[in-house]
Structure 1
Amino acid sequence: MPEADLLAQSDTVVSDPEEVSLVLAAKPASRGRVIWRRLQHTPRFWIGAVVLVLFVLWAVFGQLLTQWSPTDQDVDNMNYPPTILHWFGTDILGHDLFSQIVSGLQKSLIIGFIAGPASTLIAGVLGATAGYLGGWGEKTIAWVIDLLLVLPAFFILILLYPFTKGSWVVMMIFLAVTGWMIMAQVIRNQTRSLREREFVKAARYMGFGTWSVVRRHIIPNVASLLIIDATLGIAAMILAETSLSFFGFGVQPPAVSLGTLLADGQSAATTRPWLFLFPAGTLILLLLAISLVGDALRDAIDPTSGVNRA
């Protein structure tokens, strides 16, 4: 490996000749270790990660902190502001808002952590396969991608709403299969350049099949893009589910989500602000935490991305 590459992998600035020789003599760190070292020195990564972990713990153990379930009604304290008995207040029917937010947060995290990576997986497989095949195979997959990109994903999800039958699990599947097209285009373009590289040609000449080459040689070389897309896709899927539920095309009563809570509380945002501010604050902080982690991960994988944005 050239000396310049070895020095580029070191995070320490060295000027003394002896220190330079020590750096060159040291075994170069793996890519994963270099990325982790960069993340360790990125404050926004730690802020986002800590907040995200707290949200996950809240979603998992939050119901243990209150005596109320999302469907319980306290008829003696209906439409009450936050109190010792109801930390986030109650709605017009006496439902405990804290418990309902925990229930909605659970659905949001499940949908985000499953639908986001699943969408990225579809994009990686189809994009890499299309870029590697070329010819009619690539044209067919590209035609499907372009056709799906003509209609906004949100509009497609609204059209598919009758088939969900009110199930948020089915909606999660629909979110995954309608959110992969843009990244698939990116992966296809990257693969078209990779398929002419020597290691890909060597694998093809050795008799490896299409899927074997894609799985062993193409996808690992675009893994950085996929990791970033999967991370940011979590926030995108949470926001998509919230938007659908807000407009009545997602989670349906008696189940609750952050979107349904926002829809119920928007009319009372000025008169009973707790009904709107607590769900909105939860959603904003959750999306901000995921975005901070994704942004830090992008800069750690590609240090030039921050320079390009500046």
Structure 2
Amino acid sequence: MNEKMENEKAPGVDTGALSTATTAVDLHNLAEVEDAKLRKMTGKSYSQGQLVWRRFRSHRAAMISLVILGCIVLIAFTSIGLGGIPGWWDKPFSATGAVVNGGRPSFADGHPFGQDSLGRDYFAMVMRGTQQSLVVAFIVGIVSTTLGALIGAIAGYFRGWVDAVLMRLTDLVIVVPLLVLAAVLGKISNGGILTLSFVLGLVTWTGLARLVRGEVLSLREKEYVAAAISMGAKPARVIFKHLLPNTIGVIVVNATFAISSAILLETSLSYLGFGVQPPDTSLGLLISQNEKAFTTRPWLFWWPGLTILTIALTVNFIGDGLRDAFDPRQTGKLSRKRLLGLSSREKALKPVTKKAAKGSENV
């Protein structure tokens, strides 16, 4: 009977692995099943990073968002240049001039986004605002992610009074309304883009710190951590060598959401007058300066608004893709296609697999 069951299985297909992958809840086992299946199909083994990238590529919204965000970054930093490096757009964002055609958007007049009331080219201004907002967002993401990961890892590893002090500090920052705290610190920074970025990073790390602390508290009880400690490994080595690398999924995903939140926070501060200050500009400042022209010259409001919306949405979709790539259990539906990325060849073998399974049940 066993020989009959083996003969009915499709050659080259591990039906047990396929069925296990659809119901497994352990991420490590899932990665092993996926690697074993791909090794049988392609003849080579896949590392954890390659598996993550393979899952991320299967997330269409994330890949489309990555392309769109890349185009926005490329256009923003190459059009008007940066730091004395000239760009391909010949109109400076701060140069005033005569208002042509009522400032309406027109490619024929050389102002595709129109002009403001001072005759400044609005395309150059929106690109400058996009540059500023992106710089703030990425610096805030780096600072808040680094600070939150370190504080969470230290609190989770040492526990005791160290954990109590760091978590009370976290609670203290959480209690103060974020927008109010950021507005006060932003006013102290006097609108300097780098200072403002670091200041915002210092008040947006609390959520990640709590998540990393929870992960480290769980990882600290694992055998390999206990073995490293028993062999005399110093706390810094245990944290940076064993604990933080195993929380990289949580850290990377939350870093993307931190970038998205930073863009909206900087926009809010600049809109209220506590962020970037004239003569420089940002997307939030452009909306604030032109909100009264919404009914008469709506393009002055819509261009920066749509840019903010596009950046925030693309970063959030990228974060969703990274979350599903690092932990496929978060997809909500553990389908074979999402978890294992079935190719067309594998799809063709599925009917054979189902027939083999049905034959096994009959036996």
TM-score (norm 2): 0.78
Q: Which residue of 2 aligns with 1:16?
A: none
- 1:295 corresponds, among 300, 320, 340, to 320
1:180 aligns with 2:197: no
> Whole-Å Cα distance in 1 between the matches of residues 53 and 269 of structure 2?
36
> Whole-Å Cα distance in 2 between the matches of residues 11 and 299 of structure 1?
20
Cα distance, 1:102–1:22 mapped onto 2, change above 3 Å: closer
- Segments of structure 2 that go 5 or more residues without pairing to the other structure are 1-15, 21-28, 81-86, 335-363
Matches within 5 A, 1:252-263: 252-263=277-288
Q: Which residue of 1 aligns with 2:187?
A: 162
Deviation at 1:78, TM superposition (A): 8.2
Cα distance, 1:122–1:58 mapped onto 2, change above 3 Å: same
> Whole-Å Cα distance in 2 between the matches of residues 212 and 79 of structure 1?
64
1:107 aligns with 2:118: no
- Segments of structure 1 that go 5 or more residues without pairing to the other structure are 14-20
Deviation at 1:11, TM superposition (A): 9.7
Spell out structure 1 runs of 4+ moving beyond 6 A.
none
> Whole-Å Cα distance in 2 between the matches of residues 125 and 224 of structure 1?
15
Deviations 1:107-165 (A, max 9, x none): 11111122112211111111011000011111111111111111122111112133202
1:80 aligns with 2:106: no
Q: Which residue of 2 aligns with 1:18?
A: none
- 1:68 corresponds, among 81, 85, 91, to 91
RMSD (CA atoms) = 2.3
Which amino acid is the alignment partner of residue 55 of structure 2?
A: R
Deviation at 1:191, TM superposition (A): 1.0
> Do 1:112 and 1:237's aligned partners in 2 also have CA atoms closer than 8 Å?
yes
> Whole-Å Cα distance in 1 between the matches of residues 199 and 60 of structure 2?
35
Q: Which residue of 1 aligns with 2:342?
A: none
Percentage identity across aligned positions? 34
Matched pairs, number:
300
1:220 aligns with 2:237: no
Deviations 1:50-100 (A, max 9, x none): 101101111111123432111111124385111232111111111111000
Which amino acid is the alignment partner of residue 106 of structure 1?
A: Q
- 1:53 corresponds, among 54, 70, 78, to 70
- 1:211 corresponds, among 236, 245, 248, to 236
Deviations 1:143-194 (A, max 9, x none): 1111111112211111213320221211100111111001101111111111
Q: Which residue of 1 aligns with 2:61?
A: 44
> Do 2:36 and 2:45's aligned partners in 1 also have CA atoms closer than 8 Å?
no
Deviation at 1:301, TM superposition (A): 1.1
Cα distance, 1:219–1:308 mapped onto 2, change above 3 Å: farther
